[in-house]
Structure 1
C-alpha cells in the first residue's frame, strides 16, 4: 500500500502494544511552507481587494466589524456581497494561487494547538468538524442549508447542540479571515477542512471556490445534523436528506478516525482511535478487531473497548457493524485503506459543495491543492 507520509506530530495518546501496528501509522515529517503552483491565469488582486474594501466600507465598517450582533454580521454580508459582485463584474477574482496561500496559512495554524495544549496537539480535527457541520445541514428537497452561506456565524445555529465547541474553530479561522479578507466564510471553512484532512495524512480532497456569505435569516433549523445516540434509521434519514447513499454514509463515518468527544460539548468522552490526529482506516479496523462493551458511567450511552477502556464508539458508530448494508462497506474499508481513501475523498468533496449553485463556482472542475510537503518537494526540484 503506497501512502503519503503524514505531516503531523506523534499523538500523545498512549497506545497499547497490541495496537502498535507499524504498517498503520506514518512517521512525522517536517513542514515547510514554500508554494509551488501552476502559473496563475491572471495576476492576483489580493491587495487590491483589501484596498477596495476599505474604501467602500468607510465609517460604517467600524460598527460592522466591531460588533458581534447578528444585525452587524448581516450588514457586513451586504457590503461583502456588493463588493464581491463589483469584483466579479470587473473580473477581479482571486487565483488558485491565492487560495493556496490561504491553505498554507491554515496548515501553519494546525500545529499551534500543541503549544497551547489543545486536545492531542492539532487543531485539525476541530477544523474538519467545522467544515463538516457547516455543510451537512443541506436539504435536497428544499435546497436550503449547506456550505454556501456559512450561517453558523449566526445564532441560534451557532448554539445548536451539534455545534458545541466549534467556536474554537471559528475563532481560529477569524485570524485567517483578517489576513485574507477577500475569502468568503464558506470557502474559508471548507478549505480549512481540506487542509486539515490532507495535512493529517489523508487523501487529496478536490475543492474549488465560489461560496458566498449569507444572512441570519438563511440559518438552518436545529436537528439537521446526526444525533449520535440514534441508530441506522436515523443515519439514513439524515444522510439521505443530503443525497448520500449507504456506501457514502459509511465512507464519511470514517472521519471519526480523527479527534475525540468532550464531556463539556457533546457529553460523550474519549477518542475513537489511538492516532486521533492522523487520517487512517483504523476506525474501521477497530470496529471489527476490538470487543466493544457499553460503558458504565454517568454520561450518555457509549461503548468502550474491552481491553484498554481508553477508546470509545458512539451508538451511530456501532450500527456500522450491526446493519447488514453498512457492515458490508465497513468491512471493505477495514481491509483496504486505499479503497476508503478513494471513496472518502469523493464523498467529502461532495459534502463540502452541498447547497452551492453551479453558477457560483470559479472553476468548472474542482482543484487538487498540493499539501505543504508536496509544495516543498516541487520547489526543491526546480
Structure 2
C-alpha cells in the first residue's frame, strides 16, 4: 500500500503543477486555438467560430486565425486568466479526486498475487461476489462470541423446525464438502473448501445452505469445516434420525479441493454397449460421485476411503431427506444443449423428493427402492436417480437394502458410523 500512496501523491502533485502553470498563462484565451470538446484532438481554426468563457463570447474574424474580442463585450486578459483558473484549477482537481479511488482500486488488485480460489461469476444472493464470500476470505472463526458445538446444534435445530427443507440441503452440503478428496494427491476432504466450490455443476443449489449457515458460523466459534460437519449431523437428528457425535478440530482450507481425480478408478466396459461404444459408468473420475455411476462405479469411488458395501448403502440412505432438481418441465430447446446451459436449465425443472416424506429421516428410502424393484410402487411415491437404483439392482448391495428396510435401528447405527468416517476424511 505505501507505493500506491506515493503514486497517489505524485498524481496529485502533477495536477497542482498543471493548474499553477495554467494560471500563469495570461494570454491563454487569446493565443490558443479552439478545440472541439467532443473531439479534443481536433483543432478548430475556422472563421466565425464562437466559444464561451465564463459567460463571455469571443468571435473570430473572417480573415484571421486568432480569436478577436466580441463586439458585445471586451474580453480582458484578466478574464482569460480567471477562466483558465476556473477550468484548469478547479476542474482538474475535482476530476482527479472523483476518479482517484476508482483508478487506484484496479491498480491495487493487479499488484496482489494471483488468487488460486475459484468463485463463480454469478451470485444468486446479494452477499456474494466474484472474489468469494466476504465472510469467508480469511477463514477465521470469531473469538469471544462463540457458543461451541451445542450452540450450532441449537441454531440448526431451530432452523430445521422452521423450514424442514433445510435439513436435506445441510446434509448434502456436509457430504459434498467432505467427500471431495483426491486420495492420490492427498488433497481435499472435510475442510470447508465447499465455500470456494459453489460454482461447480455438482454443487448446484448449495448457495442457500451456505447462506443460512453464515450467521450460525459467526456466533458458533467453530471453523467452517466443523460448522458444516456439525450442521449436517444435527440436520439428521432434527429430522428424526440418530444423534451423531462429531469430533471437532478441522482446519479451513484456503483453496478449493480438486474437482477431478488424479488417476480415475475403474475401467470402461466395451462389451456391454452395442455398436462398439464404451460403458464408463463404472469409472470414478471426479471427486464428487456422479448420479450415473453403476454399482462398480460406486464401489470404486467409495472404496478409496475404505467404505464397505453396507456403509455405502447407508450413506445413500441420506436421500431419505431432501429433493433434487429434475428435468421435468425444462423446455426442449434448453435440453438440446444442456451441457452448456445447465445453470440456466436446472432452475426451470421441477424439484422432486426422493421419497413421499422427504422431511423425515427414516428407512422409507429402502422400502420404496424394494417396491420399485418389485414393480409394485405407486407412481409419484418416490423419485430416484440412476445411482439410487443400482443399489437395489446389484445383488450384494440389495442385501443391505433389504436389511435396512426391515430394521430402522440397524440403518441408524450404520449411518452414524459411516457419517463419522465421512466427516473425518482428510481432517
Tell me the TM-score normalised to structure 1 length.
Answer: 0.61
Q: Which residue of 2 aligns with 1:227?
A: 290
Counterparts of 1:71 and 1:198, CA distance in 2: 28
Give 2:159's aligned residue.
109
What corresponds to 1:214 in structure 2?
A: 253
The change in CA–CA distance for 1:292 and 1:207 in structure 2 (over 3 A counts) is: same
Asked if the contact 2:373–2:393 (Cα under 8 Å) also holds between the matched residues in 1, the reply is: no
Question: Which residue of the partner structure matches residue 240 of structure 2?
Answer: 201
User: What is the aligned residue count?
Assistant: 257
SS at match of 2:159: helix
Q: Is the aligned partner of 1:354 residue 2:425?
A: yes
Match of 1:76 in 2: 138
Question: Where does the alignment leave 5 or more consecutive residues of structure 1 unmatched?
Answer: 1-64, 114-120, 294-304, 357-382
Structure 1 residues 198 and 74, CA, compared in 2 at 3 Å: closer, same or farther? closer
Residue 202 of structure 2 corresponds to residue 151 of structure 1 = no
The aligned residue for residue 166 of structure 1 is 206
Q: How much does 1:243 deviate?
A: 2.5
Deviations 1:98-143 (A, max 9, x none): 3101210111111332xxxxxxx43111101101110111233332
Mapped partners of 1:332, 1:193: distance in 2: 24
Contact 1:111/1:123 (CA < 8 Å) preserved in 2? Answer: no
Say whether the 8 Å CA contact 2:234–2:243 is kept in structure 1: no
Question: How much has 1:332 moved relative to structure 2?
Answer: 1.0
Distance 1:262 1:111 in 2: 23
Q: What is the CA–CA distance in structure 2 between the aligned matches of 1:71 and 1:108, rounded to whole Å? A: 24
Task: Name which of structure 1's ranges 189-198 and 239-248 shifts more when overlaid on structure 2.
Answer: 239-248
Which SS does the other structure have where 1:123 is aligned? helix
C-alpha distance after superposition, 1:281-336 (max 9, x if no partner): 1111111124577xxxxxxxxxxx75233421111111112112111111111111
Query: Of the two structures, which has the highest relative contact order with CA contacts closer than 8 Å and spacing of 6 or more?
Result: 1
- CA distance in structure 2 between the partners assigned to 1:66 and 1:75 by the alignment: 11
Q: Larger C-alpha radius of gyration, 1 or 2?
A: 2
Richer in strand (by share): 2
Matched, 1:286 2:368: yes
Shift of 1:75: 5.2
Q: How does 1:290-329 map to 2 (within 5 A)?
A: 290=372, 306-329=377-400
Unaligned runs of 5+ residues in structure 2 are 1-126, 261-285, 327-345
Distance 1:268 1:291 in 2: 24
Q: TM-score, normalised by structure 2?
A: 0.55
**Counterpart residue number, 2:150:** 100
